[in-house]
Structure 1
Amino acid sequence: MQTTSLTVEKGSVELGPNVLSGVSLPAAVVYEDPLIHNVEWMQRFAEAHGARLAPHGKTTMTPALFHRQLQAGAWGITLATAPQCRAAFAHGVTRLLMANQLVGKANMAIIATLIEQGATFYCVVDSQENVRQLGRFFAERGLYLSVLIEVGVEGGRCGCRNQQEIVSLAEAIAEEPALSLVGLEGYEGVVHGDNPESGIRAYAQYLVDVAVELEAAQRFSEPNPIVTASGSAWYDVIAEAFRGAPLQGRFTPVLRPGCYVVHDHGLYREAQSAVMARRPDLQQGLEPALEVFAQVQSLPEPGLAIVALGKRDIGYDQLPIPLRRYREAGEVAQPLSVTGWEVTKIMDQHTFLRLPEEAKDVAIGDIVAFGASHPCLTFDKWRQLLLVDAQLNVKEHLATCF
């Protein structure tokens, strides 16, 4: 397990108020028990499949959550940009996997400084021009840069599109003394089609086959090269492919899901249901841990409530889902009904709720808990979230560093 000096700083912030009283709303909350469950569940899953876990930190950019993941046994933290890597390193994360191309001298300078300060850093490459640029820059700094070749798909995002491109790129890396080819990287989330599962299984097998071929050709500069993929929807399929005999004992498989840490009430809840259907042997699964609380601010006409919640507060890939309702300063154990409530529209600071005819008890100031889809796009709206217990008492302030 990676050691880390990361600490949670509470400063002079007063802890202890209840979300239903004493907290300015809207507020994003993370429930501690589901959070603990999710962190431990995914770590066990990775270890049971012979893989390392490098959770994607861009989901939360919350150092306190990085700390929990590392303490549970994570191999490192995945990031998407050089500034994200700098932020994570500043909070004690020393193994950084940037699942992206490192482009531009300013970004290269950020990473060079981190390496000089002791970071273990990896990034991906998919073009000979990027390889030449990186080789030149890091040679001038007197540093070595570990890179992984990104394996893409036609119509997808970045990445080499065929095996010949991969072999040629490996040759180009070998010609750069400052670069070290340490593995392969891919992302299955860009594989689509009428039968995505079949396509993703084929892609995962392709990653394995290419890795074995490059190893046989002695293209990797280190023993046990890295093979990494996996978002938060198909991690089980990737893990199964990586667990196969061709990689065992010869490679370091690394899984990179990120959204699992707080899960969600939309996209990833659906994806997790599919995982559990594919893998009935798995126990319990992930639990939603993230909600946003906001108050009814207007009841301007029958059947309509306006809540002080908007695009500035919660992700809106899918419309938020009303989960529960409380009276301000009410009892957590006595939620009020939101049956039949439906979000119909969301603006910058306002959410429109269609109410059923029987919703006669709604009052100004009522507090509604909302679930969201795709937690990345809720976390990035907050400078801090509230870690709460089951009774909605605030236990910790979770600062973000977007």
Structure 2
Amino acid sequence: MDIESLDTPAVVIDLDRVDANLAAAQRYADEHGLALRPHVKTHKLPWIAHRQVALGAVGITAQKIGEAAVMVAAGIEDVLLSYPLVGETKLEPLARLARATPRLAVALDNDVSLDLVGRAASEAERTIDVLIEFESGRLRTGVVAPDEALPLAQAIDAHTHLRLRGFMTYPLGAGAGDWVREARSVLARHGLEAPVFSGGGTPGMWHAHEMPGLTELRPGTYAYHDRATVAAGAGRLDDCALHVHVTVVSTPERGRAVIDAGSKTLTSDTVAASVGAGYGLVLEHPEAVITALSEEHGVLDVSACERPPRVGDRVRIVPNHVCPVSNLVDVVTVHRGGSLHGVWPVAARGTTR
């Protein structure tokens, strides 16, 4: 079977492009003395995680305990949980993960999360490394002022089964280096050290070495790339390793076509107007715009196409944001040079807890 024989919609991965993307990032990190800790939320595949580690990554980053557990069960030994852990229901899963993982770190920004992590570490009788998350431009989680890191750092240092490792932020705002420098100074006055400064992600990854004091880089989307990272200059269209293969199922009137993929496949994520319109880039008809998605229908404005697609035509779409696409499908089809290599289950799909 070749790619053109696949039933659609199908999420198809070019492993040659994946290999090239992974190698380029590792080369960059090595050249600039940065530890690479890629985020697995993009691909959710143990094979790619192992490939990243084999190339030189120090470990992986995972968002949730369930996602990390899949990777650890597949043999990954060094994991950073980058999402805040809050709630008693997280206690036992975190303790189990700590027992199973040779090297486990978590990021947090409050004492409630710290208490939970400490109890899990004690129950597991394992040391868990802790990074204090700080806010650097996304206005999500993270302590805001450097002084706010001190009480957390002191509590971590005082705990038998916790070890203070440093600071983490996402993305990597312009003032992040100054923030870490000031926070380290505050901690040093109290005899504390925080050697790790971990930042992400893909859009600005090729400039990460310009950030003063950065020690670790956590990109995720670079494994596949997508329309957004291409627009950000982090990759080229030819670097995009994941395409959604679809079929035109209707052309009800001039200028309009319908494909067999909607929000359940492409997601409803958009990109900035300056990047382009619609819910993805149609490679065979770049003038087409995916104007609307319902669950299983994608509506295309093809009025600008010199040769509009016809019913039965197959086209490939580069998603606006590739990460949620991985989480929407049970399997991905992988190939090298157009020859099918296998159909792989998306092992960490749906691990949102």
Same fold (TM over 0.5): yes
Q: Deviations over 1:26-77 (max 9, x none)?
A: 1011112221110100000111110111101111111111122111111101
**Residue deviations 1:1-34, cap 9 Å, x none?**
xxxxxxxxxxxxxxxx11212x111101111222
CA shift digits 1:125-158 (9 cap, x unpaired) = 2112322333234324433221111112588111
Q: Does 1:239 align with 2:209?
A: yes
Structure 1 alignment gaps of length 5 or more: 1-16, 190-199, 248-252, 277-283, 325-337
* Corresponding residue of 2:225: 263
Show CA shifts across 1:134-184 (max 9, x none).
Answer: 323432443322111111258811111112211121122223222211211
Query: What is the SS of the residue equivalent to 1:174?
Result: helix
The equivalent residue for 1:306 is 258
**Partner SS for 1:86:** helix
Matched, 1:156 2:131: no
Q: Among residues 155, 167, 170, which one is paired with 1:172 in the alignment?
A: 155
Are 1:315 and 2:298 counterparts?
Answer: no
- Alignment map for 1:3-402 (pairs within 5 Å): 17-21=1-5, 23-153=6-136, 156-188=139-171, 200-211=173-184, 213-215=186-188, 217-220=190-193, 225-242=195-212, 253-264=215-226, 266-272=227-233, 287-318=239-270, 319-324=279-284, 338=285, 340-356=287-303, 362-390=309-337, 392-400=338-346, 401-402=348-349
Q: Which amino acid aligns with 2:191?
A: Q
CA distance in 2, matches of 1:123, 1:38: 27
Cα-Cα RMSD: 2.4
Determine the structure 2 residue equivalent to 1:330.
Answer: none
Query: Judging changes above 3 Å, is the alpha-carbon distance between structure 1 residues 291 and 209 closer, same or farther for their aligned structure 2 residues?
Result: same
Which residue type is aligned with residue 255 of structure 1? L
Unaligned runs of 5+ in 2: 271-278
Which protein is bigger by CA-based radius of gyration? 1
Q: Distance in 1 between matches of 2:305 and 2:136?
A: 52
Specify the SS of the correspondent of 2:257: strand
Shift in alpha-carbon separation, 1:231–1:309, aligned structure 2, 3 A? same
- Aligned pairs, number: 340
The question of whether the paired residues in 1 share the 8 Å contact of 2:40 and 2:60 is answered with yes
Return closer, same or farther for 1:214/1:361 CA change in 2, 3 Å cut-off. closer
Q: 1:255 to 1:208 in 2, by over 3 A?
A: farther
Partner of residue 11, structure 1 = none
The residue type equivalent to 1:322 in the other structure is V
Q: TM-score, normalised by structure 2?
A: 0.88
Q: Is the 8 A contact 2:169 2:199 kept in 1?
A: yes
Deviation (angstroms), 1:108: 2.7
Tell me, in whole angstroms, the C-alpha distance in 2 between the residues paired with 1:187 and 1:356: 40
1:240–1:394 CA distance, 2 compared to 1 (3 A): same
1:226, CA displacement in angstroms?
1.9
How far residue 361 of structure 1 moved from its aligned partner, in angstroms, is 6.8
| 8 Å CA contact retained: 2:103, 2:128 | no
TM-score (norm 1): 0.78
